[in-house]
Amino acid sequence: MGRGATALASLDTSELERLCDEARALPFHDVEVVTKTGVVQNFRSCDTLPEDGALRSLMQAAEVVIDDQLHRKYQVIQTPLRFNEGVVQVYREAAISQKYSISPHRDHKECINVIAVFVLEGEASFCVCKERSGADPEVISSRPGDLILMRGYGFLGLPRPFHFVDNVKQGTRISFGLRHLMKREVMSNRR
């Protein structure tokens, strides 16, 4: 994870088809176009996953495999990985007046350990960069079936990478992002 993110091929065609069918049927909502921090967004999202569906199963399986490697085997994350947020996002082509489908940003500090993003459908550029301006971008592979792993807060004490999505081709790109949110973990431990 030289600049904070890497990708590897992870899903085969039959898995992608099943995941995409489920994802397309979700109740998406438009997100805020410009956030309070100035991040420009051009996508729809859904964080309500079927309890017994393919997306939830992928989330659980990914947690086990990634935790086994990064926490137990290599100890690059200090706390056990617990994906407690799964969000499907449908990115659209940026409008002519916009450069990005989501502009350079860093995931919040509540996103600890590692962020996992499965690319389910569509073509786009996923890039990491040095700062919010988008300077010196590095394209990370993001073909359908790829798993992008990105440093979260606390990953070896290294900074969270700035990243963005642009160049969405042929309409849309569907991704499934998994995060370990510390706030939700603390709240659920209080019950």
User: Quick one: what percent of the chain has pLDDT higher than 70?
Assistant: 94
Write the DSSP string, 72-128: IIS--SSS-----EEEEEEEEPPPTT-S-SEEEE---TTEEEEEEEEEEEEEEEEEE
pLDDT of residue 183: 80
Tokens 């996953």 belong to residue: 49
Start-to-end CA span in the chain (Å): 36
User: Quick one: what percent of the chain has pLDDT higher than 90?
Assistant: 80
- As a whole number, mean pLDDT of residues 15-33 equals 95
For residue 54, pLDDT over 50 is answered with yes
pLDDT of residue 184: 67
For residue 187, pLDDT over 60 is answered with no
Q: Structure pTM?
A: 0.93
Q: 5-189 maps to which CATH number?
A: 2.60.120.620
pLDDT of residue 125: 93
For residue 189, pLDDT over 60 is answered with no
Between 98 and 173, where is the model more confident?
A: 173
